[in-house]
Structure 1
Amino acid sequence: MAIDIKVPQLPESVADATVATWHVKPGDKVSRDQNLVDIETDKVVLEVVAPEDGVIGEIIAEEGTTVGADEVIGKLEKGDGAAAKTDAKADSKADDKPAAKAASGSGEKLQVKVPQLPESVADATIATWHVKAGEAVTRDQNLVDIETDKVVLEVVAPADGVLAEIKQDEGATVAADDVIGIVEAGAAAAASSAPAQESAAADDDGDSEVAGPAVRRLLAEHGLKVADVKGTGKGGRVTKEDVEKHVKGGAKAAAPAAQATSAAAPAAGDRDQKRVPMTRLRKTIAKRLLEAKNATAMLTTFNEVNMKPIMDLRKKYKDVFEERHDTRLGFMGFYVKAVTEALKRFPEVNASIDGDDIVYHNYFDISIAVSTPRGLVTPVLRDTDKMSIADVENGIRELALKGRDGKLTLDDMQGGNFTITNGGVFGSLLSTPILNPPQSAILGMHKIQDRPMAVDGKVEILPMMYLALSYDHRIIDGKESVGFLVTIKELLEDPQRLLLDI
């Protein structure tokens, strides 16, 4: 019997996704819950697992294809594949068994497991359950979001049925393959019969016929009866949307009365609080920043740079540069090349502490701080000494797009000997950047702002920018830190030095 391999439910506000990587080929044998394909969205990478043991029969959507939720992207032949293709009667019998189970309401109990976690991720956190125990679910419906330090994974229902049990509540820490819930396949009728009987005993007006168990539960939460809500479903049935609409309407109607009675006192709604758990990425960032403050002798030194020479150079050559290299000529290319040259002259800044040893790096991998929807990350540009300004600009653009789309990999994030962060893009005039361990220094760039400056005894208005170098004083002395920063200042104020290597 052929089973459809479908795209799972996509996160809210995500219209489509892309088939990233197929881990199997047609004819490959697969086991249940084995990851078959990665689906990339703007926010996360979703794993689609095998619903049963079997053989991959067909791949419909190739890598790079844009797909929507519930779209069929492949076929799985249940069993060994060969028997399913040659024995039509066996297919018929196999189809009859699930139908019989669904009709009887005593379906197979299927485990809802935590999927395989990314490499180097030991555990995860249950973020949000989208269904409650006892609610009916459909196959491939998103049941729960699981958050790791790097990505958010969606776990979908393995079959139509009822979520019989939730074993791990929101906020619980789980590991790969942990059982977090139980789905009873084809058990919708059986699961709803007990609540229906309780409802029939409590309500003599036939509520069970016009509202399902989930709706009645929602009504009870708001202290309502079925008769209070106008049903818009088939046959006048009350839906969840009807209840929510009724509750919102009641809140709006009550608002004027509430305002009138509380005119003499401050409105309670103006002093509400909202408590939201930190995401795992935010926890990781907080932990690393605290370690940097507590485990290093961090100090910051400042200087300022006249950006007019670079701005004039950009204005003169930006159109030709973009036409030649198919990328815009920004400031970061100059920053990275200046930092690379300064690192060559001050190897202590390119070094790190490992226990009681100082490790000097004879290569130049620079981390670039990138702001993403999930937090600040620092992907790495490697071998910047071998890159041209065009290569640097292209590399930074690719990392920024990956960060925005949630596609940064562990390889993109690991390593790096020095970090550049540019708070100027957000309007920051001056700041003290914090170290990115185990690195020993970080350079903060800031907003370029016109200021009156004394030049050859005259006051001129120049585009000035503050530089801030935070460094670990255990390995870098004041002489090296100031010399490093002055070198960057000189290279930026006279960019021809970068070309002449002087």
Structure 2
Amino acid sequence: MVEVFMPKAGMDMKEGTLIRWLKNVGDPVQLDEPIMEIETDKITMEAEAPGTGILLAKLVEDGTTVPVLQTIGYIGKEGEKIPDTASVIPDTPTASEATNAPAAPAAPAAPLAATPYAKKLAQEAGIDLADIVPSGTAGEILARDVEAASARKSAKATSLARKVAEVNDVDLTSITGTGFRGKIRKDDVLGSGAAAPAGEPVRIPLTPIRAAIARNMYNSQHSMAQTSDSVEIDVTDLMRLRGSLLSHQERLGTRITINDLLSYAAVKMIQTHPLANASYTDTEILSYPYVNLSMAVATDYGLTSPVVHHADRMSLVELSQALRKIVIKARERKLTMDDQSGATFTITNMGIFPVDNFNPILPSPQSCIIGFGRCVDKPAVYQGEICIRTMMVLSVTYDHRVFDGGEVGHIMQTMKEYIESPELFLVL
């Protein structure tokens, strides 16, 4: 018999939330087969089975938060008894109870009224009639009631959107999703107008990820000497370079974006400004010999910052491919703990929004984060003449304990030179 634990997916992980089991009691399970979906304070991920056999019991219900390494289920041979001390969830009797304890006589439950066709549909869809709200004139369950319940069950929605809909009694089938591949997001539920009566506050459950974001942002602001500076940069030539690279997209094997070019420039900047890739401790400053590039990504379940490890070893094409891969994994909730750990430097790009200038919060314990605003065509002085150029604001937030303003000025100067003359960082 093998115990199923809440996995410890990182050194700092203290607890995890079981979002849902992917197997039912009695189902066959293979070693390393996804058996459940869990949520930590950083990511949502599928956890794999620690052994092969039959899922004998579940000790934890969907939506329950438990400490790491706590036993939450058992896998073993068919008919094998689980420990007598195990407390299974109410809808699953323990093996010892099933074999040793005499069944207490129970009053027969009144059969649920449902049409024959409704019963057939419910059985095919795997839906318990007790979970269906009847709409028949005599209180019976009709086929349309089963179809509505089935639609709600199969609606594509994030876990937070489902929680918000459940708390506020919103029917997900009435909502059009705007998330990745049409998935219903929290904001879709909140914006539906059905989330709460007029004048009533909408209740938004605090997920582990949202709580972690709040905690980390607060701690970063209050544990470091953060300050920010910004500079306006001419990105006309960078945009022209990007257009040229697009014409070679098939040959390059990737679609180079402005964000790829900005990220590559930032990685090259670190070669001459290593303190931008460092962290502060009470006794020393650690300057890392590698660049693990983190990029802020907005997802349906909140902000996450996946990491491209050893970005300093990559060509522009390799970095572009790595960034695209990690963003897709983030939005599809397929990030591993390795994808979320070890960052030494971060970039964040608000270019898709009407945001010109912003001060990003520096993630602890990093020493520097660079933010990029939108690109805007505007009058500017170029080679002694006023003309229309494409401009962008670059913002740097840094830990003043690691370096002073003058050093940050040199960082911004280097970034300005690279971005305004992109051939410089391409040949380095």
TM range (shorter): 0.5 to 0.7
The whole-number CA distance in structure 2 between the counterparts of 1:470 and 1:407 is 29
Higher mean C-alpha deviation, range 337-346 or range 435-444 = 337-346
Match of 2:226 among 285, 298, 303: 298
**Does residue 79 of structure 2 align to residue 178 of structure 1?**
no
* Alpha carbons 2:357, 2:393 under 8 Å: kept: yes
Provide closer, same or farther for how the CA distance between residues 328 and 192 of structure 1 changes in structure 2, counting only shifts above 3 A: farther
The whole-number CA distance in structure 1 between the counterparts of 2:412 and 2:316 is 20
* Alpha carbons 2:7, 2:47 under 8 Å: kept: no
Structure-2 residue corresponding to 1:482: 409
Match of 2:377 among 443, 450, 467: 450
One-letter amino acid of the structure 2 residue matched with residue 494 of structure 1: S
Could you say what secondary structure the match of 1:305 adopts?
A: strand
* Alpha carbons 1:114, 1:178 under 8 Å: kept: yes
Structure 1 segments, 4+ long, off by >4 Å, are: 126-130, 136-146, 152-156, 158-161, 165-172, 190-195, 206-212, 214-219, 222-227, 242-245
**Does residue 1 of structure 2 align to residue 124 of structure 1?**
no
**Does residue 139 of structure 2 align to residue 228 of structure 1?**
yes
Structure-2 residue corresponding to 1:14: none
What is the percent sequence identity of the aligned residues? 26
> How much has 1:325 moved relative to structure 2?
1.7
Could you say what secondary structure the match of 2:351 adopts?
A: helix
Provide closer, same or farther for how the CA distance between residues 151 and 459 of structure 1 changes in structure 2, counting only shifts above 3 A: same
Could you say what secondary structure the match of 1:276 adopts?
A: coil
Structure-2 residue corresponding to 1:147: 39
**Does residue 368 of structure 2 align to residue 441 of structure 1?**
yes
> TM-score under structure 1 normalisation?
0.58
> How much has 1:128 moved relative to structure 2?
6.7
Structure-1 residue corresponding to 2:339: 412
Matches within 5 A, 1:224-373: 227-230=138-141, 241=146, 269-320=197-248, 322-373=249-300
Structure-1 residue corresponding to 2:316: 389
Higher mean C-alpha deviation, range 421-430 or range 304-313 = 421-430
User: Deviations for 1:203-255, whole angstroms, at most 9, x for unmatched residues?
Assistant: 9xx9799999x979669xx89999422555xxxxxx9739979xxxxx9xxxx
Number of residues paired by the alignment? 349
Could you say what secondary structure the match of 2:237 adopts?
A: helix
Provide closer, same or farther for how the CA distance between residues 362 and 223 of structure 1 changes in structure 2, counting only shifts above 3 A: closer
Provide closer, same or farther for how the CA distance between residues 192 and 416 of structure 1 changes in structure 2, counting only shifts above 3 A: same
> TM-score under structure 2 normalisation?
0.67
Structure 2 segments unaligned to the other structure (5+ residues): 73-86, 151-169, 171-195
Provide closer, same or farther for how the CA distance between residues 160 and 283 of structure 1 changes in structure 2, counting only shifts above 3 A: closer
The whole-number CA distance in structure 2 between the counterparts of 1:173 and 1:228 is 40
* Alpha carbons 2:6, 2:67 under 8 Å: kept: no
> How much has 1:425 moved relative to structure 2?
2.6
One-letter amino acid of the structure 2 residue matched with residue 400 of structure 1: V
Larger Rg over CA atoms = 1
Provide closer, same or farther for how the CA distance between residues 390 and 459 of structure 1 changes in structure 2, counting only shifts above 3 A: same
Provide closer, same or farther for how the CA distance between residues 217 and 330 of structure 1 changes in structure 2, counting only shifts above 3 A: closer
Provide closer, same or farther for how the CA distance between residues 129 and 423 of structure 1 changes in structure 2, counting only shifts above 3 A: same
* Alpha carbons 1:365, 1:380 under 8 Å: kept: yes
Provide closer, same or farther for how the CA distance between residues 140 and 271 of structure 1 changes in structure 2, counting only shifts above 3 A: farther
One-letter amino acid of the structure 1 residue matched with residue 39 of structure 2: E
Provide closer, same or farther for how the CA distance between residues 469 and 226 of structure 1 changes in structure 2, counting only shifts above 3 A: same
Structure-2 residue corresponding to 1:87: none
Structure-2 residue corresponding to 1:402: 329
CA RMSD after TM alignment: 4.5
* Alpha carbons 2:20, 2:38 under 8 Å: kept: yes
**Does residue 399 of structure 2 align to residue 472 of structure 1?**
yes
Structure-2 residue corresponding to 1:430: 357
